[in-house]
Amino acid sequence: MKAMVLEHDGDVTTSPLKFREIPIPQPGPGQVRVKVHVCGVCRTDLHVIEGELPPVTRPIIPGHETVGIIDQLGSGVSQLKEGDRVGIAWIQATCQTCHFCQSGRENLCERAMFTGYHVNGGYAEYALVSERFAYPIPDIFSNEEAAPLLCAGIIGYRALQRSQVRPGQRLGLYGFGASAHITIQIALHRGCEVYVCSLHEEHRNLAQQLGAAWVGEAADMPPRTLHSAILFAPAGELVPLALRALEKGGTLALAGIYMTPIPLLDYTLDLFHERTLQSVTANTRQDGLDLFKEAASIPIRTHTTPYPLEQANAALQDLKSGTVQGAAVLHVSSSS
């Protein structure tokens, strides 16, 4: 099969992914094999490829926003069948037995396996996933529309929950890439008033088009205090600014898997008056199921930019430079 393979970490400007022909994988017990139609290009892929996340498996095929059709079942699979359209997200499998898994916090499982990091992902013609973490895709979404929902959407959804924002309250979004452009649609549907800070003018324009009450540059102070905020940009220097924009009792959720160092916080200015700082770590299966249900009911409309599989390096370069509107999506098969 055709695949874009990471053999050695490197800056994406050096085109570290290599186009390779490799054997088609065979599903193991409890797994299904998916013929890939599309795969979204996520900022987490960027962190994996450039070595900002500790290298685990090399070579590795990145990609964890994968949509395709099941074409082969492993032994023991009972809930899915060949021909089902499914998505593959970041979590590939968990142990199901630790106290995290047993208490509904499988996203914190010590033995979790992640797609495109521990095991091969969707920058390829075929990919494997455990049956438990194959998400049915609602018919209302095309393959390309669904791809960003599988990570950008799910993480934005979990970050929204962790931010503790309630309907009718003011929510701040710092950074306005693939995840934020989905999250704003959910927040507005819930009746929130959304304020957006972003480095890139084209992203600020998209935020306005989607209904933001106010947009500003990355370090601007919103004109009103915020009940909650989500930091999507992997920029630690924005943490104090976002905390200071909060009302008393407000919550800031940090949505990234990676972040540059956070400056020293001033207790009185940044945290006093019961402000809360929350991190977000991966997601549970239930987060994914809930996101797809709510996304279909709104319905969410993702903004995407298509690339052929062979141009995965170019897509990553555009993502890093901030020139992608919404989400970049690789088209792998002609049926996508």
The pLDDT, as a whole number, for residue 336 is: 42
Residue pair 275/249 in contact (Cβ under 8 Å)? The answer is yes
Nearest to 271 by CA among 246, 236, 307: 246
Structure confidence at residue 325 (pLDDT): 84
Q: Which residues pair with 70 in a beta bridge?
A: 34
Count other C-beta atoms under 10 Å from residue 111's C-beta: 12
CATH tag for 154-279 (out of 3.40.1440.10, 3.40.50.720, 3.50.50.60, 3.40.50.300): 3.40.50.720
pLDDT of 271: 96
- Residue 334 has a pLDDT of 59
Query: How many angstroms separate the Cα of 198 from the Cα of each of 174, 204, 237?
Result: 6, 6, 14
pLDDT of residue 90: 97
Q: Indicate where the chain has its CATH 3.90.180.10 domain(s).
A: 2-148+284-331
Written as six digits, the tokens of 317 are 């370069």
Query: What are the backbone angles phi and psi of residue 101, rounded to the nearest 5°?
Result: -60, -40
pLDDT at residue 293 in the model: 97
Summarised one tens digit per residue, pLDDT across range 170-219 is: 999 999 999 999 999 999 999 999 999 999 999 999 999 999 999 999 99
Question: 85-88 and 134-136: which strand pairing?
Answer: antiparallel
Q: SS3 for 78?
A: coil
Q: What is the pTM of this model?
A: 0.93
**Is the domain covering 2-148+284-331 a CATH 3.30.160.20 domain?**
no
Residue 141 is predicted with a pLDDT of 98
Task: For residues 69 and 131, give the distance between their C-alpha atoms in angstroms, rounded to a whole number.
Answer: 13
CATH 3.40.50.720 maps onto the chain at 154-279
- Given a cut of 50, the residues of the chain with pLDDT beneath it are 336
CB 193 within 8 A of CB 214: no
